Structure 1
Amino acid sequence: MRNQKALVQGKTGKNRPLVCSRDAFVLRQKNIKAKVNKNVLEDIMNLTKILAVAALAIAPVAAQAQNLTARDASSIQNFFLDEGSDVELLEDNVGDPQLNVIHYGSEFTIFFYGCHDNTNCDSIQFYSGYATDGGVRLKTVNTFNAEKRWVRAYVGDSGSTKLEMDLYMGDGGINADDFAETVGLWSRLMGDFEEVIGYN
């Protein structure tokens, strides 16, 4: 047998080389290895796709679990506690949650709204009241409201002056960083208002 190969008559009538048994074994092993490698690569790619889809599905749930929500007053209370603030969780006059907060020297109250059976609320209101006894002119308050966004000021029937800011939190709530920005905005505007009304 020349070069360990022989010629056989193919189905098409052309001469084809007949590979000896050793060469056939080596070729078969190469084909098996190539097929295995291809299958492993496909399995890895499929597993990667599955993990990616799972990560996308889990990520929003994990992010939502860390959000602050009006549905859980303790999540907002814990935010202020983590900031080193003094905060007390109470109930308002209709039984809804209420937070009394002292945050970096500023005192204010957070009321909860859109509640169902005094729980599962959907929004909050930052509130600060000042016993100005009618000493603040309505024009001063109107000018402040015209110049400032986000908050509203008004003079109550007793002559006290009040400042409020509402925040809708919905079902999913907001993350701690955005809430911190909101608290910072409220604190700055509250300071601006106290300066305008001459509150010390």
Structure 2
Amino acid sequence: MGKPGLTTMAAAMLMLACAAAPASAQQAAGAATGAGASAEAVFPDTAYLKASEPEGIARYLRYLGYRAILEKDPNGDPVIETGMGGFKVMLWFYDCTDGRDCQRLQLQLGVAMEKKLDLETVNAWNRRKRFQTLHLDEENDPILSHDMSTVAPGMPAAQFRDVVELFEGQVAELRRIIVAHDSDG
């Protein structure tokens, strides 16, 4: 399920939802210009990330070692492109007002496949997983997603990091399923 207004293929190929750092973390990040500045001082685990502050989320993803390209989706809402396991992952921003003041995020990975996954494989995935969901788009390509709420006061940075790391692990597992599926004859 991609953002409204995107074509199925564009939505399937885009992926990674993101959260933003609070104003205090953004100010600290802006002040930390010296090479000796501690990342923990910039992004303590107790900092709160908010979808309403997409620049802070992009900065935190970079701090975690991910690529984070902040853009606008076709509806004018923020979206961050990143990568995990060799795939492009998108971080979509939801419940925004005029492209700002977003409340929720969704990490998303879509994979275009020539040999399609079957519904039985997708349902087996969803029975085993608690946090991420897998579904098939209109072209029967798999879409992996994880939703997050960042309403006041926001999501603690440690929790956001845990979600991103968990999602990356699931991306690796999905890759194994896809490779095995493609090698079946």
Residue 179 (str. 1) matches residue 160 (str. 2): yes
Higher-Rg structure is 1
Aligned-pair CA distance for 1:156:
1.2
SS in 1 for 2:144: strand
Tell me the amino acid that sits aligned with residue 184 of structure 1.
E
Tell me the amino acid that sits aligned with residue 93 of structure 1.
P
TM alignment of 1:67-146, pairs within 5 A: 67-103=48-84, 105=86, 107-146=88-127
Aligned to 1:193: 174
Contact 1:80/1:103, CA 8 A, preserved across alignment: no
Aligned to 1:15: none
Contact 2:80/2:92, CA 8 A, preserved across alignment: yes
* TM norm structure 1: 0.63
Tell me the amino acid that sits aligned with residue 108 of structure 2.
Y
Bigger RCO of structures 1 and 2 (CA < 8 A, at least 6 apart): 2
CA–CA distance in 2 between the matches of 1:62 and 1:99?
A: 21
Contact 2:149/2:155, CA 8 A, preserved across alignment: no
Tell me the amino acid that sits aligned with residue 154 of structure 2.
G
- The 1:68–1:155 alpha-carbon spacing in structure 2 relative to 1, beyond 3 Å, is same
Residues 44-99 of structure 1 show CA distances to partners (whole Å, capped at 9, x for unaligned) of xxxxxxxxxxxxxxxxx979x93111010011100012123211001111110000
Gaps of 5+ in 1: 1-60
SS in 2 for 1:167: strand
SS in 1 for 2:108: strand
Aligned-pair CA distance for 1:191:
1.5
Contact 2:95/2:104, CA 8 A, preserved across alignment: yes
Contact 2:84/2:171, CA 8 A, preserved across alignment: no
Q: Which of these residues, 122, 133, 139, is aligned with residue 152 of structure 1?
A: 133
Aligned-pair CA distance for 1:134:
4.9
RMSD over aligned Cα, in angstroms? 2.3
SS in 2 for 1:198: helix
Contact 1:134/1:158, CA 8 A, preserved across alignment: no
Aligned to 2:41: none
Contact 2:87/2:109, CA 8 A, preserved across alignment: no
Number of residue-to-residue matches in the alignment = 139
Contact 1:85/1:104, CA 8 A, preserved across alignment: no
Tell me the amino acid that sits aligned with residue 92 of structure 1.
D
Contact 2:79/2:93, CA 8 A, preserved across alignment: yes
CA–CA distance in 2 between the matches of 1:182 and 1:127?
A: 12
* TM norm structure 2: 0.68
| Higher normalized helix content (fraction of residues) | 1
